[in-house]
Structure 1
Amino acid sequence: MKKLLTSLLALTIVVGTAFSQTSKETKQKPATQQTEVRVKKDGTPDKRVKANKKLRKDGKPDMRFKQNKKD
């Protein structure tokens, strides 16, 4: 009985690792080239500048806006 349980445990571990999810390696698109982005001392984009109005908090272009989308 002990050998049976041990073999079932080993089998489930082997099968579990064989069918586990693997991480997909995604290729990131190169950052879009923009004009000069003014940055505060703490590294966040300055929201007072008109050119920075359509950016996300991390400084990347916000894709919800038409001018930031590329066809």
Structure 2
Amino acid sequence: MLYDYINQIESIGLDLLFAAVFLLIGLAIKDVLKQGNVPPFGRRIVWLVLFLGCAGFVTKGVIQLSWEGSGL
């Protein structure tokens, strides 16, 4: 029975792995910004870039789900 759902389990596991990687990257960036005394404008730019990367990943997932649902 588990073998029937292996693709779905693998997909969910990969998504969780990417979410964990984004979280760890965010924590590392927060620490580097704090230790480096980066000005507020620079911090905003760094967080904007990180957010856009994460948003692109989420958008890709939504597009992939919609295409798979429509049969493409």
Q: TM-score, normalised by structure 2?
A: 0.32
TM-score by length of 1: 0.33
Bigger RCO (CA 8 Å, 6+ sep): 2
Structure number with bigger Rg:
1
